[in-house]
Structure 1
Amino acid sequence: MIKTSLTLTALFVSTAVLADSPAPAQQAKDMERIIVTGSRVEERIDEVTASVVIVDQQALLRNMEVTNELQSILAIQVPGMGPNTGTNSSSGQNLRGRSALVLIDGLPQSTPLRNGRLAIRSLDPSVIERVEVIKGATSIYGNGAAGGIINYITKSADSKDGFNGKLNLATNFSATDFEDSLGKRADVTIDGRSNKLSFVANVAFEDNGIIKDADGDALGLLYGMSGFESKNAFTKLAYDLTDQSALSLTYNYFEGQQEADYISTNKNVNLGEKSYATKNTTGEKAPGDPQGPRGNHNLKLQYEHADIFTDTLFTGDVYWQKLENVFFYSTKFRDPALGLAGGQSMIESEKTGVRANFNTTFDFDNTAASFTYGVDLLNDTTAQSLVDGRAWTPKMDMDNAALYLQSKFVINDDWVVKAGLRHEEIDVAVEDFKTLMVCRKTCSDVIDVEGGNIEYSATTYNIGLRFNAIDAFMPFISYSEGFDVTDLGRTLRTADTPSVKKIDTDASIIKNYEIGFDGNSGIFNYQFATFISQSDIGTSLVEDPATGKYESVRSPQEIYGFEAALEAQATDNIKLGVNYSWLEGKNTDTDEYLNGSTINPPKLAGYADISLSDDWQMSVTLMHVGSRDRFEKVGDVYTGTNGPVSSYQVVNLSTSYQINQAFKVYGGVENLLNQDYYPARSQSYTGNGYNVKGKGATVNIGMNYFF
């Protein structure tokens, strides 16, 4: 069997220079209405019949003056994105109540077969030119996009011949307790072009130091950010073969390990005490290996031809992605018979593929038509074992072939009609395996399970309509479907039957209905959308109170909500923005509310960007998270992810000053008011170690050197 996969996305080759020089700022302005993620070819946002958010270079840089955590940046910038968890995991931070498929230049980083929720932080932010977010179920990129797509578009070289460089040096520390909190960061990016050859290269290193809460105590270590050391290496080489064709090679490597020599004291919501960490003074190494990605490799070779045949753009690529994500040490993996007091799991995933995408355009009377079509072939091999060698989730070897067609008609420049379909053929080979004994409230039985092949076949559809005649009111309506193999690995590892054929492994079709509008009038730009997302099989987890075991919900679910955003250029020097999102969801069979692993509380985010002078900039951001209390205690305790969430808010401040053309200094304070709070996930998740407080006031100071 050929282990290759081909899915073609006509990746938009942006001509963005390194951040902060005059050219990139102008480029961001020129590109702000262009997106490539929604239909796999370059198109204008006002031709997309769905909710779209672009986090451009300017917004990224503004937020990175405070924090480099992509979870926090996306939480502020993207309506419908849940609040950041304060940890290295995005579990509990959903997009419209469902999992998002994370991509780097269109290449999948998520591991849908065993979703570890670590994909959002899969590269260093200094590599990113901008982030494109498409909300709502979509089949454009296949399995795993139940809630939408988050696509990191990486930097490309300047369009002009020459050489550019940027060095960034920064440090951060706790304003509540300095001890051990000093972090450090360095990244350098260079790009150049000579005639037909261009390149971009980046290396980055960051050590967070020990993260402290508002009381000055070190945060707990479960999925923790304390002592998190990350390394990133990125390069992109491109060569213009002709005036209409080009070849490019991109590679990115990212790793991040929690290296803190601290010991975690784990509490939980029901005890009413926070989880925290203290310095290890025992002289003995804490059990387990460092948490985090041991290595995330992405390699892509791409060929693009602007006119491979009449009025047709072709983009083809071959890619490879491999990762190892190590989770926290837990005594639930104890096995006295083997002399083991615990263990820690690790997701290993390797994807290979080839992709081919064609975009053909036609012009009729008063109508511009385009058809995007192609084939995706993917092999994804995923398993979750323990670091000590014991198997937990069996090896799953998936071959996925898909054909797709997406059409778009722009009529009289005002009406946009889109329709498309995608057909999936999936075969997952599962080896014979034994379930692992896991000890929570009780120890699970070990069962011999006969493997086999699990096959899926599905066709998903989408259709949308948009009207653009009036700038102040441009409405759209859409229906889209997504195909989701709901965390197959979790289903298999909790098997209680002797054969894979007897396990309910059905996939889910996610149906997304959306209506909304955007517009601009005078100094204002605004967006609004309301949606309903339905699935015949659930995409959330629920805890069995008797055993403490989490299992996938297999009953139908419905999630609904709305989002709104408003931006205003109040004066020449002041830009204001605010966005709000609210959602709710239920199991439709039982009319029970969905838990905190699925539904995020209401969220209000806002910002003010102020130009104090041509060289001096300032920014303030606010995130307010509302309350959600839907569940009763079981006996005297909350179970699973049913804990009540109380409201809180966090204010960040940053400022920068351009000393001259070569030097810029900046500083920021995260949680400026030193708010003492638990993030939403810390409140809703009742397991030991999850109730970690939010980061206290933290100072970040840095400088840029441009060359």
Structure 2
Amino acid sequence: MGSIIAASLIHAQKKDSLDQRRLEEVIITASRSPEIVKKTASTVHIIHKKEIEEQSLISPDLSNILAYKVPGLAFGNNLVGNRGQTLRGRNVLIMIDGIPQSSPLRNNDREIRSIDPSVLERIEVVKGATSIYGNGAEGGIINYITQKNTKSKPFSGKTVLGFTSHDLFNSNMFKSDGGAGYRVSQSFFGNLGKWDYLINGTITQNGVKIDGDDLVQNPRYGLGETSVGNIFGKAGYNIDDDNRVELMYNYYSSLQDSKYILDIGKYGERPSTGKLGNREGVKEGTRYNHNGYLKYINKNIFHQTSLNTTIYFQDFYTIYDYRNPPRWKTGGQSAILEKKYGFRVDFNTEFKKGNELMGSLTYGLDLLNEKTSQPLVDGRIWVPEMNMLAAAPFVQGKLFITKDLTVKAGLRWDKMSVKVPDYTTLPSGNASEFNVQGGRLNYSNISYNVGVSYVAIDFFQPFTSYSRGFNIYDLGRVLRDAKTNVLNEINTDPVVIDNYEIGFNSKIGRAVDFSASYFYNYSKLGADLVSVNGFWTPLRAPQYISGVELAMNVYPTRGLSIGANYTYQEGKVDVKNDNSYDKYLSGLRIAPARLNSYIKWNNKSQKLQLGVYHMYSFKREQFEPVSGKYQEGEGPVKEFNLFNFQGSYQFNNVITVGLGVENVLNKTYYTPTSMYTARDAEYVRGNGRYYTLSLNFNY
């Protein structure tokens, strides 16, 4: 990286710590080359390590952390999966240090919970379709950036002990329905000359999940009685000032072993809960998610050019719940297996006139081999193993016309080939089996983007952008529902999205930050899930989504910050393909409007920290019942209010005690997912009040 950008980033980081992380002081790397947020020409959110730790004290569930911190991201469903948790109504590409967790071959709905927050340095969220990463990023990117050692000591450590209970003051809290759980995290890190390292192990045991009326929640796909484990390691070697080699590995697992089974409720009348019983099948959940990379960085490989190369892999295996007929003729339990091997090479060249930076060019190549299948645990094949080879050259340029006016443009060409073997669909319900002749599915797509930002005036810093993204929409779901015996007759065309955004950032004195944006995206051949005879099936039709996002942060005095953000979005689909757009998109795509707010305070010594967080989810009632019954995905979503609290106190820079309270008012509410899904079995409530006590040791 050139000296001018490096110096700018160092200056930004220093100001970040001194000036409460205001908009212009935050940097990102999600666009593959470092940038100042205000010059990205798109809406970007950074969740820093301290914020992750604060929110983890309330709940270590990344789905909840993101929902409270990221406008435009749908509220979590309180389940192990993240189905329906879209970003601006579109699918989002989840990555760990740039390693894709999402799959175009078969959506596993486990991507958001693919790593433990204890090992994250920050989370970078880039809104809107993007061509810089290609397939899957139709709604944007969520990139989990893992920690690395920053201490100069040869050996340091951190121990975190946590205890969670539904009722701290109840002597029965350790009983089977008490909701008690624990969390232990241990880190060692240090610097040994040119070497640096960080090792972490975290274990979380969740107790039974209880709602606001002290009822055991439905355990099906639930987060109760799950054992979560994470092992992380990163080591780096600085060959010299310009050259570095880095190795990372992360293992994550989340398995449920519940004593409860479904006690089915009635949609709109009473919730589905849990009752004691024996569950069929094997333990459900993510057996393992392995991620790793070997990275080489050269800051000056040739004139004003840096190099970043990465070899990476992911190995993922998750098991779903047991289903009785008519899911399959004899019932069963499905699983998804994914293996990815990839290579990335990025060059970044700076252009200068004298000492002034005039522009930069980021260019390179992405290579990926992915194998994904969805068998049943008993050996039957629901989705055959698909083998994808993908190559994508790309280029992204930035031109600094003046120090305040920036123009960005990029181009990416994705070339993909998916090999599908001969296979036989599994009969379910009234559907017959089909013998499908395999073959190759080939995709070629050119994506591009352009954006402009102007930051000369603190009060009004406008930006606008256009980007085209694409996504092979859940190919396995399409193949398993084949109604023809010829592969090429199945509609597997990708989703191509045109995304437009206009907005501005504003600094009002030293006390107020405000931002606003309007977005619109359109796809000629979109993909929405609709329920057909109880099975989610893709609906391919033109669709559009539009919305607004507003955010304000106020810093009245040193140590006090108050903020709020509001998101509204809506979308329609042209089912008749006659440009009528007379049907709203379902709740799986469109989240209800939401208002998030917070107030945080630190004392002068920074030892005592307190925070209160509020969420108001508005209603969304766009559909009418058919013959007295709501169609699945179209149920009315009612409004609800939630309050969370967290606080901590630090003793002598060594010991920190903390308290987090989820759902302070013990509100009884149904999650938006449970309301719009409109299924008896999935009509479940959210968590009641939960307390978390923590004790941190730094040494």
**TM-score range, shorter-chain basis?**
over 0.9
Hey, what does 2:3 align to over in structure 1?
none
* CA deviation profile, 1:105-151 (whole Å, cap 9, x unmatched): 11101122111211001011000011000010112112111110000
Comparing 306-315 with 530-539, greater Cα deviation is found at 530-539
> Would you say the 8 A contact 1:462–1:480 is kept in 2?
yes
For residue 456 of structure 1, give the secondary structure of its aligned residue in structure 2. strand
Letter in 1 for 2:457: I
For residue 105 of structure 2, give the secondary structure of its aligned residue in structure 1. helix
Hey, what does 1:345 align to over in structure 2?
334
Letter in 1 for 2:558: D
For residue 635 of structure 2, give the secondary structure of its aligned residue in structure 1. coil
Comparing 456-465 with 611-620, greater Cα deviation is found at 611-620
For residue 673 of structure 2, give the secondary structure of its aligned residue in structure 1. helix
Identify the match of residue 559 of structure 1 among 545, 549, 567. 545
Q: Aligned pair 1:420/2:410, yes or no?
A: yes
Q: Aligned pair 1:533/2:526, yes or no?
A: no
* CA deviation profile, 1:256-306 (whole Å, cap 9, x unmatched): 001122112233525x221111233xxxx4102222110000010000000
Instruction: Work out the CA distance in 1 between the residues paired with 2:64 and 2:266.
Output: 23
Q: Which runs of 4+ in 1 moved over 6 A?
A: 22-28
Letter in 2 for 1:41: S
- The 1:189/1:24 distance shift into structure 2, 3 A limit, reads farther
For residue 112 of structure 1, give the secondary structure of its aligned residue in structure 2. coil
* CA deviation profile, 1:678-700 (whole Å, cap 9, x unmatched): 01001001234211101000111
Identify the match of residue 562 of structure 2 among 551, 556, 576. 576
Q: Aligned pair 1:702/2:691, yes or no?
A: no
Identify the match of residue 543 of structure 1 among 499, 523, 531. 531
Identify the match of residue 483 of structure 1 among 457, 470, 473. 470
For residue 218 of structure 1, give the secondary structure of its aligned residue in structure 2. coil
Hey, what does 1:363 align to over in structure 2?
352
- The 1:380/1:47 distance shift into structure 2, 3 A limit, reads same
Instruction: Work out the CA distance in 2 between the residues paired with 1:111 and 1:267.
Output: 33
TM superposition score normalised by structure 1? 0.92
Letter in 2 for 1:492: L
> Would you say the 8 A contact 2:594–2:618 is kept in 1?
yes
Identify the match of residue 380 of structure 2 among 390, 393, 417. 390
> Would you say the 8 A contact 2:369–2:387 is kept in 1?
yes
What is the Cα deviation at residue 26 of structure 1?
7.3
Higher relative contact order (CA 8 A, sep 6+): 1
* CA deviation profile, 1:581-615 (whole Å, cap 9, x unmatched): 00000013342100011000001101110124532
Identify the match of residue 274 of structure 1 among 271, 279, 287. 271
Instruction: Work out the CA distance in 2 between the residues paired with 1:556 and 1:364.
Output: 47
Hey, what does 2:500 align to over in structure 1?
513
Instruction: Work out the CA distance in 1 between the residues paired with 2:326 and 2:300.
Output: 57
- The 1:449/1:84 distance shift into structure 2, 3 A limit, reads same
Hey, what does 1:136 align to over in structure 2?
128
Matches within 5 A, 1:682-697: 682-697=674-689
For residue 83 of structure 2, give the secondary structure of its aligned residue in structure 1. coil
Hey, what does 2:364 align to over in structure 1?
374
Letter in 1 for 2:516: F
What is the Cα deviation at residue 375 of structure 1?
0.4
For residue 75 of structure 1, give the secondary structure of its aligned residue in structure 2. helix
> Would you say the 8 A contact 2:39–2:454 is kept in 1?
no
> Would you say the 8 A contact 2:544–2:571 is kept in 1?
yes
Matches within 5 A, 1:304-315: 304-315=297-308
What is the Cα deviation at residue 408 of structure 1?
0.2
- The 1:27/1:689 distance shift into structure 2, 3 A limit, reads farther
What is the Cα deviation at residue 411 of structure 1?
2.0
The percentage of aligned residue pairs carrying the same residue is 37
Q: Which runs of 5+ in 2 are unaligned?
A: 1-5
Matches within 5 A, 1:642-661: 642-661=634-653
* CA deviation profile, 1:184-234 (whole Å, cap 9, x unmatched): 100011210121000011000001110100011111122200001100000
> Would you say the 8 A contact 2:328–2:426 is kept in 1?
no
What is the Cα deviation at residue 27 of structure 1?
12
- The 1:115/1:28 distance shift into structure 2, 3 A limit, reads farther
Q: Tell me how large the CA RMSD over aligned residues is.
A: 2.1
* CA deviation profile, 1:27-84 (whole Å, cap 9, x unmatched): 9959983444442011211220110000111211111111101111111100101112
Identify the match of residue 473 of structure 1 among 442, 456, 460. 460
Instruction: Work out the CA distance in 2 between the residues paired with 1:188 and 1:30.
Output: 32
Q: Aligned pair 1:247/2:237, yes or no?
A: no
Instruction: Work out the CA distance in 2 between the residues paired with 1:375 and 1:348.
Output: 26
- The 1:268/1:416 distance shift into structure 2, 3 A limit, reads farther
Matches within 5 A, 1:618-629: 618-629=610-621
What is the Cα deviation at residue 379 of structure 1?
0.6
Hey, what does 1:91 align to over in structure 2?
83
Instruction: Work out the CA distance in 2 between the residues paired with 1:203 and 1:159.
Output: 19
Letter in 2 for 1:502: E
> Would you say the 8 A contact 1:28–1:57 is kept in 2?
no
Identify the match of residue 434 of structure 2 among 431, 440, 447. 447
> Would you say the 8 A contact 2:84–2:673 is kept in 1?
yes
Letter in 2 for 1:528: A
Q: What is the aligned residue count?
A: 675
Letter in 2 for 1:562: V
Q: Which runs of 5+ in 1 are unaligned?
A: 1-11, 17-21
Instruction: Work out the CA distance in 1 between the residues paired with 2:125 and 2:183.
Output: 27
- The 1:301/1:30 distance shift into structure 2, 3 A limit, reads farther
Instruction: Work out the CA distance in 2 between the residues paired with 1:437 and 1:581.
Output: 42
Hey, what does 2:100 align to over in structure 1?
108
For residue 114 of structure 1, give the secondary structure of its aligned residue in structure 2. coil
What is the Cα deviation at residue 548 of structure 1?
2.6
* CA deviation profile, 1:231-262 (whole Å, cap 9, x unmatched): 00000010011210000110000000011221
Hey, what does 1:5 align to over in structure 2?
none
For residue 649 of structure 2, give the secondary structure of its aligned residue in structure 1. strand
Hey, what does 2:590 align to over in structure 1?
599
